[in-house]
Amino acid sequence: MTSTTLLSNTDYILLGGKDLQHACLAPDGVQTLPELFAYTARKHPQRPALSCSLDGVLCTLSYSDLAARVRQISDVLRERLDQKTTTAFSGGDPPVVGIWFERSTDLTVAVLAATTAGSTWLPFDPDAPVDRVKACLDDSKATLLLCDDAHYDRSCAVLQSIHICNVARFSDLAGDGERPHQRLSSAAQTYTRPHDPAYLIYTSGSKSEFPDVFPKVSDFGRLQFRTATGTPKGICIPHVSALTFLLSESTVLGITEHDTVWQGFSPAFDMWIEETWISFCQGAHVVIGTREECLDTSGLGALWRIRDVSVVHAVPTLMGIMAMDGSDDAGVPDNVRLIVSFIFHIALSRRLQCMSHLT
């Protein structure tokens, strides 16, 4: 019996010690995440930006195509937000827009459109319980819940008891954007400010030993903790902090426009932000893993080989499962040059480095 190597090349693992010698500076005129994406789209218009398998058909968008679609959706979304609230773009905090989608190209387009429209995006896991979605929307005082068709009925159920938040179906926004007479022809120009909250991430709501009240951390994020244990707790990350972190990480990891980055995390987890936006920092190609693809751990190695994935963010659990899989398609293919993990057990690290072909 033959088993393939999980990792035969020790360069797959970045063990640390690679410090930045100089601060990573954003390109001229780039102070926010939508400005970063727009800059990259202008710099690499024909490079592939997103690809995703839909009903067995691989669909790919170039940076130019993706930017055009984002502008289309964000125009309609901005109009909806302007009609809903008078404070959205008048100097106060940006409106919060919930994002509830299946793993798809539309999910990433929705996030880009929300931030381009000047709002703070609040992502939800596709399988998030209705009560959790309601609690987070209520706590964040969200203005809008943007969803796909698969989540529309649940979104309407959530908002029955939240009167300040409306639901918008992505397919309706896309349809409005395709009709020129309904698009904004002379909308007032709006700006996302560097210290505006870019996105909100909520914890699981489990009991914590942290104090009940945290001070505002103006340069890193606005921590919003609730006194009742078991309640989801949220943190706002401003554009300036997210931009600095993402530019630094993409530099440390050596991401370039020639990389293909696997997008496999839940959008409600901050690792999704990393795998997506380090790609947009440098013009890399984001390969979106669908629900079915991400659940099929035994087939991930073969899929990464077929899609020519070069960078993967993964939790140790996933790598451990792949290490134990004895099928012929198991393991990480040679085209994967880097695996990024926020926690990496030393025993697994050694195993990934030392495993060789077994006969």
8 Å CB contact between 274 and 248: no
| Residue spans of alpha helices (H) in the chain | 33-43, 63-84, 105-116, 130-140, 152-158, 170-177, 239-252, 270-282, 291-295, 300-306, 316-324, 346-354
For residue 62 the two structure tokens come to 């170039």
For 25-63, write each residue's pLDDT tens digit: 889 999 999 999 999 999 999 999 999 998 889 999 999
For 258-268, write each residue's pLDDT tens digit: 999 999 999 99
Give the burial string for 110-127 (b: 16+ CB within 10 Å, else e): bbbbbbbbbbbbbbbbbe
Number of Cβ within 10 Å of residue 198's Cβ equals 27
Q: Which of 150, 211, 176 is nearest to 79 (CA)?
A: 176
Separation of alpha carbons 237 and 15, rounded Å: 27
Q: Which of 222, 249, 293 is nearest to 52 (CA)?
A: 293
- What's the DSSP call for residue 299? G
8 Å CB contact between 59 and 103: no
SS3 313: strand
For 89-102, write each residue's pLDDT tens digit: 455 789 999 999 99
pLDDT of residue 120: 97
- Percentage of the chain modeled with pLDDT above 90: 58
Q: How large is the angle between the packed helices 270-282 and 239-252, nearest 10 degrees?
A: 70
- Sequence-separated (6 or more) residues with CB below 8 Å from residue 56: none
For 314-339, what is the mean pLDDT? 77
Sign of the torsion formed by the C-alpha atoms of 161, 166, 290 and 315: negative
Query: Counting every residue, how long is the chain?
Result: 359
Angle at 326 between CA 315 and CA 259, to 5 degrees: 45
For 179-206, what is the mean pLDDT? 67
Homologous superfamily assigned to 31-295: ANL, N-terminal domain (3.40.50.12780)
pLDDT of residue 314: 86
Q: How large is the angle between the packed helices 346-354 and 316-324, nearest 10 degrees?
A: 40
